[in-house]
Amino acid sequence: MNSSLNLLNIACIGCGVIGAGWIARFIENGVNVSIFDPGPKAELNVKRTLENAETAYANLTSIPRIKKGTISFKKSINEAVKNVDLIIESVPERVDIKQKVYSEIEQYCDKSTLITSSTSGIMPSELQKNLKSPDRFYVGHPFNPVYLLPLVEIVGGRNTSKATISRAKSIYKQIGMHPVHIKKEIDAFVADRLLEAIWRESLWLIKDGICTTAELDDIVRFGFGLRYAQMGVFDTYRVAGGDAGMRHFMAQFGPCLKWPWTKLMNVPEFNAELVELISSQSDEQSGHLNIREMERLRDSNLIEILKGLKKNNWGAGKNLRDYEASLKAFNDKNTSTTNMESNTIKTLKTRVPSDWVDYNGHMNEARYLDCFCEATDQFMKIIGCDADYVKKGGSYFTVETHIRHMAETKIGESLSIETQLISGTGKKMHLFHTMRNSSNVITATGEHMLIHVSLKTRSASEPSSNILKNLSTIFNRHSKLPWPKGLGNAINNPKPDQSFKE
């Protein structure tokens, strides 16, 4: 995370919907943010967005995140941009306003600071033309909600350096985003050109009375929108071509492009009548919900889609999986230990997301087992039973488990597990896990008996000498600790193995 990125401070100039989204994305990933926005609702906008982001991240992943960054509102651009690594401009979409902001930014920021715009369509060459150091400027176009959607379009202008593009991509990857470098600048870039096309045709379909706003939205969200969420445009059509693939699809459906199906070259007259038609149908469709409620529903739905895609390691789900892996690697450095002379070994840190909670409002039984399994896996890695060892044909299988539930564990709580080796001679390994919350209260214990197995014969076998050596080293320390309360209540081994004791 930040230990490799070395990005500790950024500035956000403008904090409307997009600016506030950027602020939330960065502070959730440990970056401190200085803010300037003279608008009367700036602090309220940020507060609401941070609340949404906090809820979203608590439900998105069980992997604990690094300590949040801080926010500080400044009275001027001068104060906001000093001693920062990146400056994000998210002011209104007018070239003159943006260029005036850049002029003031350059007076006060460090020479090495990157400057980026969140513009959704203005070409970067136009924006950077008056800058003294245009090589450090680029467009970083995100998508709402910025704290959840991983895509960011990176667009350089004529004078943007390759080093700036490379540095920008690295920054976004470190905060869990998926940067796409648009190789040639073009008005509205790529995503908004696609969105504008469907928006233009949608206006015609409503104006001509073909369907209502609710029906059109249903067609998108119940139909091709689901395909696009995980395959995009071209892979969707590749599959539609069957075994013959894209060439067959192009040959079969290419001629229809000449048919007068759409009105993409024409724009419906944008008059009061069209505005009233669209607005009244939209009110009927969703007017029973306020915007905050719709934002929470949107975020909740996006989280479940992202989690679903993560299971198959696909699309935006793969991005989430990679982000979680970076968080886990960061946490492992501060959680587990390979010091064989340590006391009980810290094997897991986690948080309780919403989908771990049952109808009683606390973590369900299956999730306790999941946590203890992860702790066992971590202990196995410590003693040398890692992925490479398993590939060579050896592993441990759990043959008996006993879980005691000691206290309620609710949504959002932070949990940690410490593991004590009870015995580890021959083919057997006996572990006792203790789960605690952030108040150091024991919430559960998990006792596991495992047998070493040859994956070739699927029968019990002796572990490697290295594993036995590591187990012996740990046991020499752990055997001197008090036996944990509850040990042996269910495991058929009431008297712990003392064979390693001197």
Beta-bridge partners for 380 = none
Query: What confidence score (pLDDT) does residue 240 get?
Result: 81
Beginning with the edge strand found earlier in the chain, give each strand of the sheet holding 86-89 in spatial order.
Answer: 71-73, 32-36, 9-13, 86-89, 114-117, 137-141, 151-156, 178-182
CA neighbours closer than 13 Å in the CB half-sphere of residue 375? 30
DSSP secondary structure letters along 104-127: HHHHHS-TT-EEEE--SS--HHHH
Determine the pLDDT at residue 59: 85
Amino acid making up residue 141? H
**DSSP annotation of 398:** E
Q: What 3-state class would DSSP assign to 69?
A: coil
The angle formed by the CA atoms of residues 215, 219 and 225, to the nearest 5 degrees, is 140
3-state secondary structure of 146: coil
pLDDT (0 to 100) of residue 361:
84
Mean of pLDDT values over 130-148 = 97
Q: For residues 483 and 344, give the distance between their C-alpha atoms in angstroms, rounded to a whole number.
A: 11
Residue that wins the pLDDT comparison between 435 and 342: 435
User: What pLDDT score was predicted for residue 494?
Assistant: 53
Closest by CA position to 120, among listed 32, 61, 187: 187
Q: What is the mean pLDDT of residues 159-167?
A: 97
User: In the structure, what pLDDT confidence band is assigned to residue 341 with cuts at 50, 70 and 90?
Assistant: very low
Mean pLDDT within 307-318: 89
DSSP-assigned beta bridge partners for residue 363: 357
Which pLDDT value is given to residue 502?
Answer: 41
Stretch among 79-83, 255-259, 433-437 having the lowest mean pLDDT? 255-259
Instruction: Give residue 312's pLDDT.
Output: 87
Q: Which amino acid is at 458?
A: R
Check whether 491 has a pLDDT greater than 60: no
d(CA 418, CA 348): 7
**Higher pLDDT, residue 490 or 206:** 206
pLDDT of 271 > 70? The answer is yes
Block residue for tokens 């060892």: 389
The set of residues, in sequence order, having a beta carbon less than 8 Å from that of 362 and lying 6+ positions away, is: 408, 409, 410
Which two three-digit tokens encode residue 316?
A: 């935006």
Residue 215: pLDDT band with limits 50, 70, 90: very high
pLDDT digits over 63-112, tens only?
887 889 999 999 999 999 999 999 999 999 999 999 999 999 999 999 99
Tell me which residue of 282, 412, 423, 271 sits closest to 353, measured CA to CA.
412
- pLDDT category at 209 given cuts 50, 70, 90 is very high
- Using DSSP, state whether 395 is helix, strand or coil: strand
Higher pLDDT, 61 or 399: 399
Residue 2's pLDDT band, with cuts at 50, 70 and 90, is very low
Task: Give the C-alpha distances (Å, rounded to integers) separating 163 from 8, 152, 169, 440.
Answer: 19, 18, 10, 47
Domains of the chain (ranges, CATH numbers): 2-189 (3.40.50.720), 192-288 (1.10.1040.10), 336-478 (3.10.129.10)
Of the two residues 493 and 110, the one the predictor is more confident about is 110
CB 60 within 8 A of CB 53: no
Interatomic CA distance for residues 192 and 144, integer angstroms: 12
pLDDT surpassing 60 at residue 58: yes
Evaluate whether 32 touches 111 at the Cβ level (below 8 Å). no
Pairwise CA distance, residues 148 & 368, whole Å: 27
Predicted pLDDT at 334? 60
* pLDDT tens sequence across 448-481: 999 999 999 999 999 999 999 999 999 999 999 9
Strand partners, 402: 447
Residues 6+ apart with CB under 8 A from 165: 138, 154, 156, 181
Measured CA to CA, the distance from residue 149 to residue 303 in angstroms comes to 10
Sequence length of the chain is: 502
Work out the mean pLDDT of the chain and round it to a whole number. Answer: 89
Contact criterion met (CB below 8 Å) for 405 and 444: yes
Q: What is the pTM (predicted TM-score) of this model?
A: 0.78
* Radius of gyration for the alpha carbons in the chain, expressed in angstroms and rounded: 28
In 316-427 the beta strands, taken as DSSP E runs, fall at: 345-351, 394-405, 414-423
Asked if 139 and 127 touch (Cβ cutoff 8 Å), the reply is yes
- What is the rounded distance in angstroms from the CA atom of residue 204 to the CA atom of residue 207? 5
* pLDDT-based confidence at residue 490 (cuts at 50, 70, 90): low
CB count within 10 Å of CB 149 equals 17
pLDDT > 90: percent of the chain:
65
The CA-CA-CA angle for residues 92, 97, 98, to 5°, reads: 80
d(C-alpha 115, C-alpha 108), whole Å: 12
**Among candidate residues 1, 30, 26, the one with its CA nearest the CA of residue 15:** 26
Q: What angle do CA 44, 47, 52 make, to 5 degrees?
A: 125
